[in-house]
Amino acid sequence: MKVEIWSDVMCPFCYVGKKNFENALVQLPFKDKIEVEWKSFQLDPDLPVEGLDMSTAAYLAKRKGMPEQQIQGMMDNLQQAGKAVGIDFKQDQSIPVNTIRAHRLSHFAQSHGKGNEMEEALFLAHFTDGKNVGDIEVLVGLAEQVGLNAAEVRAFLATDEKVDEVTADITEARALGISGVPFFVLDRKYGVSGAQPTEAFVEALTQAFQESQPQFEMKGNSDAGACGPEGCEI
C-alpha cells in the first residue's frame, strides 16, 4: 500500500504529523508493506532562496497581520506539542526561507532510497538547529549525513533538476483539493488532513490496508462433490 505525504519543511505541523504517522507505523503488523512517498508543497513560494533576515515570529506576524506577541504565544504552545513527540522546536532560531531547494533535494534523496531520512534531517535542521535549508552547502552537509554522495548532491543542486517534479506535486495537490499540509493520501482512496494523533493514523492505515487486500468469497453449493486427502465424497 502506498502513502503519499504532502508537506513543507517550514510547516511545524508537518513535523508533528510525521512523528505521529511514524509512531502509528511501528504499531502495525503490515508496516513493511507500506511504501511512503514524500510530495512537495510550498507555504510561501515568494520567500527568497537566501532566506529572510528576521525572526520567524516577525515574519509570521507580518504575513498573517497578527501581533508578534500573539504569534509568539502560538509558537510557545507548539513547542509543548513538539515535546510530546520528541521534537525540540526552537523557532526563535528558524530561518524563513524559500524551500524549493530543500524540496528538490528531498526528491533527489527519494530517488536514492533516502526520502524519509532526508525529510527528518531537513525538519531537524530548520526547526531545531536553526540552519538555512535554502543554503546549498547546508543542504550538501545534510545529504551527506543521510548517506548521499556530497559531490553528486552539490552538482545536482547547481542545476534545475527536479524543479518540474516539485511543481507537479504542487499542481497535483491543487487538483486533489489539498489547501494545507500535512496531507496524507492512503492508497489513493482516503485522505488524512493535518497532524492527526497516532491513534487516528493507526485506524485509517488499518482500514486502507485491509481494503487494499484481495477479497476471497466462497461461491456455489458447499456440499458439491469434492476430493480431499481422505478420499472423495460422492
Which DSSP symbol is given to 215?
A: P
Count Cβ neighbours within 10 Å for each residue of 142-164 and write b for 16 or more, e otherwise.
Answer: bbeebebeeeebeebbeeeebee
Angle at 29 between CA 81 and CA 11, to 5 degrees: 30
Residue 5 bridge partners (DSSP): 38, 184
DSSP count for the chain of H helices, then E strands? 9, 6
DSSP 115-183: HHHHHHHHHHHHHTS---TT-HHHHHHHHHHTT--HHHHHHHHTS-TTHHHHHHHHHHHHHTT--SS-E
Cβ atoms of 71 and 57 within 8 Å: the answer is yes
- Give the count of beta carbons closer than 10 Å to the beta carbon of residue 63: 14
- Give the count of beta carbons closer than 10 Å to the beta carbon of residue 75: 19
Instruction: Give Cα separations from 77 to 13, 72, 73, 198, 208 (angstroms).
Output: 12, 9, 6, 19, 32
| Prediction pTM value | 0.90
Q: Is the backbone of residue 38 left (phi > 0), alpha (psi -120 to 50) or beta?
A: beta
Q: Using one digit for the tens of pLDDT, what is the confidence trace for 183-231?
A: 999 999 999 999 999 999 999 999 999 998 876 666 666 666 677 677 7
Task: Say which residue the cell 518540474 belongs to.
Answer: 164
Cβ atoms of 146 and 108 within 8 Å: the answer is no
For 2-212, give the CATH class: alpha beta
One-letter amino acid at 176 equals L
What is the chain's pLDDT, residue by residue, as a tens digit (234 residues)? 999 999 999 999 999 999 999 999 999 999 999 999 999 999 999 999 999 999 999 999 999 999 999 999 999 999 999 999 999 999 999 999 999 999 999 999 999 999 999 999 999 999 999 999 999 999 999 999 999 999 999 999 999 999 999 999 999 999 999 999 999 999 999 999 999 999 999 999 999 999 988 766 666 666 666 776 777 766
Instruction: Give Cα separations from 136 to 43, 101, 151, 206 (angstroms).
Output: 20, 8, 12, 40
Q: How far apart are CA 81 and CA 102, in angstroms?
A: 25
